[in-house]
C-alpha cells in the first residue's frame, strides 16, 4: 500500500515524531502536537500542495530508511554496521562527564564542533522549561546551551523542526539526535545540496525505543506527585547511569535507579514503546558519523548498571569524517579515550540483537497484514535474517502480520 500523505504515516504507526515534516512544510501548515497516545505527531493544519507533501514524505523516516553504503577501508559488521574506529570515550571536562547521561562524549564532540568553528550551532534536545516531562528542540550557539542539553531524554522529541529555518539562514550546524532523526537528515542530504554543505556532522546514540509521555506521567504519579507540581524530571545524569529523578516546587525529591526504571516487572509504569520502533532496522545509528552508546562495566559477560560517578561511552566512528572528528577532539583536549574491542561491543549491547535481526521480517509482516510498511534499503536484510535463524524470522514475520491485522499498529491523529 502506497503512502501518499502524512496522515497515513501516523495512522499506520510509522511516525517517529522527528519533526522533519513540520520543518519542510512550515509550522503554519504542519505542527508537531502531542497525540492521544502521548506521542508527538504532525497535525496538518491546512491542505498541503502535492509538491510539499511529496517533499515531506521523501525525507520521512516513517516511509523509507536507507542504510550505509560500503566505504573503502571501513569494516562493515553484519550486526553493528560500519565501524571506522571503536573506543571507549568520555568528556575531558569532569563536570560535563558527571552531568551527562554517560561519559558526555556526544556533548564533548558537540562542544568541539562549535568552539572549533566547524559549525555555528548544535541542533539537539533538552528538557522543556515549561513542562519538565516534555522535551523541546534546541538550537544551541553557546557552550552553556550545549551543556544544558547534555542529559538523555527518554520520550517524545522532535529535534528536526528547526532544520529548514537554519538552512534558509545559511547556518552550518551539527545534529545530535536519535538514529531515526539522523536517517531523516541523510534523506534530506540526498535531496538537497545545501543540507550536505551546511550539516557537516551527525552524532547519535543507541536507542531503546521511544516511550510516550504516559510513562513519565505514571512515574511521577507513582511518587504521589501530580504533573503540575513537577519542576524537575531527569531521566539520567549526574552520575552514571544516574537516577531517574522527580523534583517538586516544594523541595521534594524522588529517585528511581536505572534497573528499577527500565527492568523492574513490578513497576507501576509501562515502557510503552511506539510501534515504529518495533520495526526499526537501525536503533544503533549506522548512518551517523559517530554513535555514542553507554560503555557499560561488564561482569560475567553482562553489563552492570550499578551507580558510579565516572561515566563512559563507546565512541563508534561510522565514517571517515566521524573518525577524523573523534581524533581531532582527542588531540585538542575535548575527549579522552581508551581501547575497546569488537567483542566487548557485542557483549555490552547484546540486547539490540533481537530487534536488529527481526526488523526486516517485522516490516514485511506489516505488508502481509495489509498495512503500509516501512521501506528498508541497504540494511543487510538477508544477513541479519540468517543471524536470527529461520524459526525466529518466521515467528517475527507472522507475529507482525497478525498484530497488523488486529490493528495494533493503528494510531489516532493528534
pLDDT tens-digit profile of 393-402?
999 999 999 9
Its pTM stands at 0.97
Looking up cell 516487572 gives 265
* pLDDT for residue 114 is more than 90: yes
* pLDDT for residue 352 is more than 90: yes
Element of type H or E holding 317: strand 313-317
Please provide residue 28's backbone torsions phi and psi, each rounded to the nearest 5 degrees. -70, -20
Angle at which helices 381-388 and 390-406 pack, to 10 degrees? 110
CA distance 119 to 117: 5
pLDDT tens-digit profile of 325-341?
999 999 999 999 999 99
Residue 113, number of CB atoms within 10 A of its CB: 26
pLDDT of the residue at 308: 84
β-pair type (30-34, 40-44):
antiparallel
pLDDT tens-digit profile of 214-259?
999 999 999 999 999 999 999 999 999 999 999 999 999 999 999 9
Please provide residue 163's backbone torsions phi and psi, each rounded to the nearest 5 degrees. -60, -50
CA distance 270 to 301: 27
Q: Which of 26, 16, 17 is nearest to 53 (CA)?
A: 26
- How would you class 193 by CB atoms within 10 Å of its CB: exposed for 0-12, middle for 13-18, buried for 19 or more? exposed
* pLDDT for residue 1 is more than 90: no
Mean pLDDT of 123-138: 96
CA distance 163 to 139: 10
Q: Which residues of 268-293 are buried (b: 16+ CB within 10 A; e: fewer)?
A: ebeebbbbbbbbbbbbbbbbbbbbbb
With bands split at pLDDT 50, 70 and 90, how would you rate the model's confidence at 195?
A: very high
β-pair type (85-91, 121-127):
unpaired
End-to-end CA separation in angstroms for the chain: 23
pLDDT tens-digit profile of 131-143?
999 999 999 999 9
Amino acid at each position: 500500500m502506497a503512502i501518499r500523505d502524512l496522515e497515513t504515516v501516523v495512522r499506520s504507526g510509522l511516525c517517529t515524531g522527528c519533526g522533519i515534516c513540520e520543518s519542510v512544510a512550515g509550522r503554519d501548515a504542519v505542527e508537531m502536537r502531542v497525540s492521544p497516545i502521548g506521542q508527538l505527531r504532525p497535525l496538518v493544519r491546512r491542505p498541503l500542495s502535492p509538491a510539499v507533501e511529496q517533499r515531506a514524505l521523501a525525507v520521512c523516516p516513517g516511509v523509507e530508511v536507507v542504510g550505509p553504503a560500503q566505504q573503502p577501508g571501513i569494516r562493515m559488521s553484519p550486526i553493528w554496521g560500519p565501524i571506522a574506529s571503536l573506543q571507549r570515550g568520555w568528556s575531558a571536562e569532569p563536570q560535563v562527564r558527571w552531568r551527562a547521561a554517560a561519559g558526555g562524549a556526544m556533548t564533548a564532540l558537540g562542544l568541539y564542533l562549535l568552539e572549533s568553528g566547524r559549525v555555528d550551532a548544535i541542533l539537539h534536545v533538552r528538557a522543556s522549561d515549561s513542562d519538565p516531562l516534555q522535551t523541546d528542540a534546541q538550537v544551541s550557539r553557546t557552550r552553556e546551551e550545549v551543556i544544558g542539553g547534555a542529559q538523555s531524554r527518554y520520550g517524545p522529541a522532535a529535534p528536526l523542526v528547526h532544520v529548514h529555518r537554519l538552512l534558509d539562514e545559511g547556518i552550518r550546524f551539527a545534529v545530535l539526535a536519535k538514529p531515526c532523526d539522523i536517517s531523516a537528515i541523510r534523506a534530506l542530504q540526498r535531496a538537497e545540496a545545501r543540507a550536505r554543505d551546511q550539516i557537516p556532522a551527525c552524532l547519535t546514540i543507541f536507542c531503546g525505543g521511544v516511550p510516550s509521555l504516559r510513562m513519565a506521567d505514571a512515574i511521577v504519579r507513582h511518587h504521589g506527585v501530580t504533573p503540575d507540581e513537577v519542576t524537575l524530571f531527569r531521566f539520567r545524569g549526574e552520575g552514571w547511569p544516574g537516577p531517574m529523578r522527580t523534583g517538586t516546587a516544594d523541595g521534594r525529591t524522588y529517585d528511581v535507579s536505572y534497573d528499577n526504571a527500565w527492568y523492574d516487572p513490578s513497576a507501576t509504569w509501562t515502557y510503552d514503546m511506539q510501534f515504529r520502533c518495533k520495526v526499526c532496522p537501525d536503533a544503533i545509528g549506522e548512518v551517523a558519523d559517530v554513535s555514542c552508546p553507554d560503555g557499560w562495566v561488564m561482569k560475567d559477560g553482562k553489563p552492570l548498571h550499578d551507580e558510579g560517578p565516572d561515566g563512559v561511552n563507546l565512541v563508534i566512528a561510522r565514517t571517515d569524517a566521524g573518525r577524523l572528528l573523534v581524533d581531532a577532539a582527542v588531540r585538542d583536549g575535548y575527549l579522552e579515550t581508551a581501547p575497546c574491542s569488537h567483542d566487548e561491543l557485542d557483549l555490552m549491547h547484546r540486547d539490540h540483537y533481537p530487534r536488529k535481526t527481526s526488523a526486516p521480517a517485522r516490516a514485511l509482516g506489516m505488508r502481509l497484514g495489509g498495512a503500509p510498511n516501512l521501506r528498508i534499503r541497504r540494511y543487510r536484510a538477508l544477513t541479519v535474517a540468517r543471524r536470527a535463524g529461520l524459526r525466529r524470522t518466521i515467528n517475527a514475520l507472522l507475529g507482525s502480520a497478525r498484530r497488523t491485522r488486529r490493528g495494533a499498529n493503528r494510531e489516532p491523529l493528534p
